[in-house]
Amino acid sequence: MKGINRARTGLAGAVATFTILALAACGGGGSDTAGDGGDTGDGGSDLIRVGFSQLGAESGWRTANTESVKESLSADNGFDLTFVDAQQKQENQIKALRDFVAQDVDVIAFSPVIETGWDEVLQEIKDSGIPVVLVDRTVDTTVDDPFVTWIGADFKAEGTTAGEWVAENAPDAKIFELQGTLGSGAQVDREEGFGEVVGDQIIGKASGNFTRAEGKTAVEAALQAYPDMTMIFTHNDDMGLGAIEAIEAAGKVPGKDIQIVSVDGVRDGLQALVDKKFNFVVECNPVFGDQLAELITKVADGEDVPKETIVIDKAFDQTITQADVDARAY
Ligand code: AHR
């Protein structure tokens, strides 16, 4: 290890408590090192060496999350960050995680693109003694106590909030569900939460992999397959924006002929709400870099941290104003 002797207790810093933190709003491919290593001249460093595997750059949400993480895990704030974008490929993430182990970083953080398939690499990390901080999404693994702490949104609650709006405002809607990356925590949990409330109104589903282009393609096919659909529930804004393009190209009016309920609340999504093309948006707040930095610092120092930190989300309907959108930080 190049730096100071950070805690290598793995799980010792975790306590099984549940904390809710309210967040204040604030903010390519390959790898980059954000810090300069902070060399002291004697081979040591007082920076915390963090390897962060981001899952990709698939959406406006992800871009805002990456900016927030990089801004908070800066050298000025005491971090030597190695950031790797996996381009939505699990094999890239696994390679990055193994590289972080080889580099003997102080803390490994990552946003898993899907929930399963991590057993082997998580066991390797555990054997190395490097603590893991899960970011945004969760894992489903046979490895005991695979991470010290997780920070992210309550995806199931987001789906439930969307479902409750539909139940109250469009109880007769015939819904096509535009799913995120299949097998990701965000897809699995949003679908579960939504389905528990208005599952009987869903007439079809397909994945748009959380991207605008794939969302558009999925909705083009759905317009043919489900000509009676009156609503789309999309697992993120980017796919919903792709849906708008497909709906308009088919000569229909988004927000009227086909209502759109979305998740995220990035500026483009909220603009679609002001423009009456989206009907309801459940927020998923990506700006939690400061909270992540605080957790990583505590983990590196072997201090107790909550096992989970849930990022607080809001929801928006068409009463949102242009001024609200213009003031949006991302
Ligand atoms: O995991 C969070 C989800 O991932 C966001 O809702 C989506 O936009 C992103 O791709």
Q: Going by DSSP bridges, is the β-strand pair 79-85/30-33 parallel, antiparallel, or unpaired?
A: antiparallel
33/145 same-domain check: yes
Ligand 1 atom with minimal separation from the 235 CA: 6
What token pair was written down for 307? 């096992």
Q: Is 321 within a domain?
A: no
Q: Is the CB of 264 under 6 A from ligand 1?
A: yes
Distance from the first to the final alpha carbon of the chain? 37
136/236 same-domain check: no
Which residue, by CA, sits nearest to atom 3 of ligand 1?
Answer: 186
Mean pLDDT of 14-38: 36
Question: How many angstroms is it from 152 CA to the middle of ligand 1?
Answer: 11
Q: Is 81 within a domain?
A: yes
Q: Give tens-digit pLDDT for 50-73.
A: 999 999 999 999 999 999 999 999
CA distance 286 to 68: 8
pLDDT of residue 31: 57
Residue type, 240: G
Q: Is the pTM of this model over 0.75?
A: yes
Task: Specify the residue for token string 């535009």.
Answer: 178
Q: Is the CB of 136 under 6 A from ligand 1?
A: yes
Question: How many angstroms is it from 236 CA to the middle of ligand 1?
Answer: 6
Q: Is the CB of 58 under 6 A from ligand 1?
A: yes
169/112 same-domain check: no
101/177 same-domain check: no
46/145 same-domain check: yes
8/75 same-domain check: yes
Q: Is the CB of 284 under 6 A from ligand 1?
A: yes
DSSP 200: G
> Residue 314 pLDDT more than 50?
yes
Structural domain boundaries, residue 45: 2-152+285-312
Q: Is 41 within a domain?
A: yes
> Residue 287 pLDDT more than 70?
yes
Q: Among 284, 285, 288, 310, which residue has the most ligand 1 atoms within 8 Å of its CB, making it the best to mutate?
A: 284
> Lowest-pLDDT range, 18-22, 41-45, 150-154, 201-205?
18-22
pLDDT-based confidence at 45, cuts 50/70/90?
confident
106/181 same-domain check: no
> Residue 202 pLDDT more than 80?
yes
Q: Is the CB of 62 under 6 A from ligand 1?
A: yes
88/49 same-domain check: yes
Q: Give tens-digit pLDDT for 262-278.
A: 999 999 999 999 999 99
> Lowest-pLDDT range, 34-38, 49-53, 115-119, 323-327?
34-38
292/145 same-domain check: yes
140/9 same-domain check: yes
pLDDT of residue 109: 98
pLDDT-based confidence at 14, cuts 50/70/90?
very low
Question: How many angstroms is it from 42 CA to the middle of ligand 1?
Answer: 42
Ligand 1 atom with minimal separation from the 184 CA: 1
Mean pLDDT of 155-163: 98
Question: How many angstroms is it from 240 CA to the middle of ligand 1?
Answer: 12
CA distance 216 to 28: 22
Question: How many angstroms is it from 12 CA to the middle of ligand 1?
Answer: 30
Q: Give tens-digit pLDDT for 1-10.
A: 333 334 454 3
Q: Is 325 within a domain?
A: no
148/6 same-domain check: yes
DSSP H stretches of helix in the chain = 60-72, 90-103, 119-128, 155-169, 185-198, 212-225, 237-249, 267-274, 289-300, 322-326
Question: How many angstroms is it from 76 CA to the middle of ligand 1?
Answer: 28
How many domains, in total, are found in the chain?
2
7/66 same-domain check: yes
| Residue 206 three-state SS | strand
CB-count burial class (<10 Å; 0-12, 13-18, 19+) for 127: exposed
Q: Among 53, 54, 58, 62, which residue has the most ligand 1 atoms within 8 Å of its CB, making it the best to mutate?
A: 62
Q: Give tens-digit pLDDT for 207-236.
A: 999 999 999 999 999 999 999 999 999 999
pLDDT of residue 44: 60
Q: Is the CB of 137 under 6 A from ligand 1?
A: yes
Q: What's the chain's average pLDDT?
A: 90
Question: How many angstroms is it from 159 CA to the middle of ligand 1?
Answer: 13
Q: Is the CB of 263 under 6 A from ligand 1?
A: yes
Mean pLDDT of 125-141: 98
